Chains A and B, each alone.
Chain A
Amino acid sequence: MAASLLEYLRGLSPIALSRLYSDPHTCQAVLRALPPLSRQYLLRLVGAHGRLAAEIVGAWPLPTAAAALEHKAALEQLVALRLVELDPVGREYALHAGLCEQIGSSICLARGAQAAEARLAADEARPSVVQLERHAQRTWEDVLQCVLTPPRRLLPLAGCGGKSTLQQLLLSLRLLEATGAEGAEGAEGVEGAAARWASTRAARRFVLLPIQEQVWRLMLEYMELTDTVQPGARDATLSFLMRLGSHAVGSDCSVHSLTELQRQVLSDLLLFGIAYQREESSPRFYATPLAHALLSGSAGLATSRRSEGFLILETNFKLYAHTSSPLWAQVIRSFARVEYVLPNLVVSSISREAIRDAVESGIEWDMIVQFLERNAHPLMAANVPVLPETVVNQVSLWAQESSRMQLADAQFYDKFESIELFDDVVQYAKDDGVYLWHKRDQQHVGHSALIVAAHGHQRMKAFLKSKK
């Protein structure tokens, strides 16, 4: 699965890319998702009207090894995305004509795309960036709640023309699995639907991932799903996402400028918390910070940290979660033993059993550590290192306990008739290379015992028979 927008675009066909690059918002989003040096190169090429001799481009980096490396990576990225093409002779770099035009017009003040956008009257009750961030966070937590405890009621997705549901989307992400039949014969309806879904092992891992990665995975699957129901929906969704990402957080966009398909997609994005609309009938919608996180490159994903952390981990393995959301209590329960739950605080302790259970249910220990680090309370986040080292080390040791041992079948022999026979058998086992362990007891010969690898049993049996 493509880990970021750029990787996803790299996998698309040249025709699909060409179609995408004809949209000004997509061009802008792609530019911003590129690594910093590639961005500079792209704009230099735009400044040169799209064509530059390879010698000139080659002279851009400083003559140092680090610069040459970055230069090569930057150009490779541009070529892989088909933004830039080197002509077959290798003399000239040419920028994608459509993209060059779009970026050129957006920096050279052509009154094209931006001016055409429908103007809205001044917005009196503009939500602040903080409000939007909270809203996005809350809405996304609802989605995660659906992942962990699938709701009884089906949540239809408008982007698929109502033919598909959120549950189906999660099912194709393998976060939910259908459990058994359509419910018991008599229990049709609400109860029956509830019995049809259960969260999987992958779901428990999914909720521990960084939020951007979760959203990105969901959106990728969403695009595939909508495309199967309504051909062309993938491009519409992608360009709509790009458009959301190109708006500043907190600035309003008009619903009237959207196509019918985009309006359907919008109502799903509202469900995911990527966009925000005050009321269903409201003529404007806003992009939330999630939309921006979605479009930033992988570097953005790694460095981003939740602004409002709520976890405090102490060296005595106590974990305090300052939250009132039942979701996080549930997530914490997957790797720690919850001791008590107060209205706005969950107190739990990390123990050997809890970590072992977590590992058995498919969670890796470094995911737990990263989750704790990402959601660290500002007071704890100020520490260096963020988490107490003792706890991190102990968690890794506990997690590796089960993988330190290897099980292999073996055969156990005892009740030997004489000590001489026992010695002979032990010697034979050692010569045969199947010997594992023995206990010699001259006083009580019957207590002497020998263990050999299971695959040597047949030969040992034959040897014992020959001795009798």
Chain B
Amino acid sequence: MLDDLPSTLICLVDCNPCGGWGEEDALALLEHLLVFFNAFLLLHSANQLQLLAVHPREVSCVWPEDGAPPALAPHQLRQLFLKRFRTLLATPPPSASAASALSGGLSLALCRLARQQRADATRQLRVLVVQATADSAAQHLAGMNCVFGAQKLGVTIDALVAARNDSLLLQQAAHLTDGFYLRLGEQEKLALSQYLLTCCLPDQQTRKLLCPPAQGSLETKALCTISKRPVDIGHACSVCLAVFAEDQLPLRECPVCGSRFIQQAAQAPKKRPKKAAAAAAPAVTS
């Protein structure tokens, strides 16, 4: 028999006004999420939900608010969420191309989860990321570090991506932490609450017993630290494991950690070449 353990879920919702969706889309998606949140809170009396809104300017906590009562009826939650999201969507970003502070949001979520784990080690910890904009290459390294942190903490990351293209970071995040990744097409957007109830609602221990949903092909390419392009074959720094594309060589020192590379011959770079075939990349980066 399974133990009846409470869970904590932190949901990160991308509120970038320049996102791939309009306000209407975003609010429709929020309705689906609310169904999921209510079901999550219904599951266990000690289940906890936190909602973080990710905006290019800031990561703000929507729920629980400071000073608000600890429990609210579902329709009150809904009003609160809608109000906060409308204001955030109306806040202009610093520049039109600014990306949401996803890695910042992830690290805030992990900090909060780590604190919960210290207080109660049996609690099951999860993160649900809803991303509306394309990946930001500048945040890739920080994001991957968060993912490894999550993996170590035992936090499962589920990801929903509403952008047109797949997210490299979130695919790898879901893969490494045994979570699920879904890119929302038109059809998926309509039946999103169904998907959430079926796939994202089970906690870690029930997931071990249930068939996982079908996952698309996994993109596990590493990103070149300098050019921010995905690379098939690259070189890795032996100290910090940053990855460099072939055409960036030779390098005198690692641009990430500053380790000096010994230049032996003029032509042969010191770093060991890395085979970054689909399966090998996470092994190298981890």
Which of A31, A36, A250, A300 has a CB less than 8 Å from the CB of B206? A36
Q: Is the CB of B35 within 8 A of A107?
A: yes
Q: Considering the chains assembled together, what is the distance between the CA atoms of A108 and B43 in angstroms? A: 14
Q: Considering the chains assembled together, what is the distance between the CA atoms of A247 and B71 in angstroms? A: 9
Q: Is the CB of B209 within 8 A of A71?
A: yes
Among A36, A39, A247, A303, max chain B CB count under 10 A is at: A36
Which of A37, A114, A250 has a CB less than 8 Å from the CB of B70? A250
Residue B3 at the chain A interface, CB threshold 8 Å:
yes
Q: Is the CB of B35 within 8 A of A108?
A: yes
Q: Is the CB of B43 within 8 A of A32?
A: yes
Q: Is the CB of B45 within 8 A of A62?
A: no
Q: Is the CB of B71 within 8 A of A251?
A: yes
Residue B227 at the chain A interface, CB threshold 8 Å:
no
Write the B172-212 contact mask toward A (1 if CB under 8 angstroms, else 0).
Answer: 00000000000000000000011001100111011011110
Residue A106 at the chain B interface, CB threshold 8 Å:
yes
With A70-B209, A251-B70 known to touch, is A107 a contact of B2 (CB < 8 Å)? no
Residues of B within 8 Å of A, CB-based: how many?
34
Q: Considering the chains assembled together, what is the distance between the CA atoms of A67 and B206 in angstroms? A: 9
Q: Considering the chains assembled together, what is the distance between the CA atoms of A250 and B71 in angstroms? A: 10
How near does chain B come to A73, taking the closest CB pair, in angstroms? 8
With A103-B42, A292-B45 known to touch, is A109 a contact of B35 (CB < 8 Å)? yes
Q: Is the CB of B211 within 8 A of A60?
A: yes
Residue A447 at the chain B interface, CB threshold 8 Å:
no
Q: Considering the chains assembled together, what is the distance between the CA atoms of A182 and B246 in angstroms? A: 100
Closest to B71 in A: A248
Residues in A whose Cβ lies below 8 Å from that of B193: 47
Residue A297 at the chain B interface, CB threshold 8 Å:
yes
Residue A35 at the chain B interface, CB threshold 8 Å:
yes
Which of A36, A109, A297 has a CB less than 8 Å from the CB of B74? A109
Residue A28 at the chain B interface, CB threshold 8 Å:
yes
Among A32, A40, A46, A106, max chain B CB count under 10 A is at: A40
With A47-B197, A106-B38, A111-B75 known to touch, is A297 a contact of B70 (CB < 8 Å)? no
Residues in B whose Cβ lies below 8 Å from that of A60: 210-211
Q: Is the CB of A35 within 8 A of B1?
A: yes
With A251-B69, A292-B45, A299-B3 known to touch, is A43 a contact of B211 (CB < 8 Å)? no
Which of A32, A35, A39, A67 has a CB less than 8 Å from the CB of B45? A32
Residues in B whose Cβ lies below 8 Å from that of A32: 42-45
List which B34-55 residues lie within 8 A (CB) of chain A: 34-35, 38-39, 42-45
Q: Is the CB of B4 within 8 A of A299?
A: yes
Residues in A whose Cβ lies below 8 Å from that of B69: 251
Q: What is A's interface to B at a CB cutoff of 8 Å?
A: 28, 31-32, 35-37, 39-40, 43-44, 46-48, 59-62, 64, 66-67, 70-71, 73, 103, 106-109, 111, 114-115, 117, 245-248, 250-251, 292, 296-297, 299-300, 303
9 closest cross-chain pairs (CB), A and B: A114-B73, A47-B197, A107-B38, A67-B209, A248-B71, A107-B39, A299-B4, A36-B2, A109-B74
| Sample of 12 more A-B contacts, CB < 8 Å, known A251-B70, A303-B4 | A36-B3, A36-B4, A36-B203, A37-B2, A43-B39, A43-B197, A70-B209, A107-B74, A114-B75, A251-B69, A299-B1, A300-B4
A-B contact pairs, 12 of them (CB 8 A): A28-B42, A36-B2, A37-B209, A40-B201, A40-B202, A64-B209, A67-B208, A107-B38, A107-B39, A107-B74, A114-B74, A303-B3
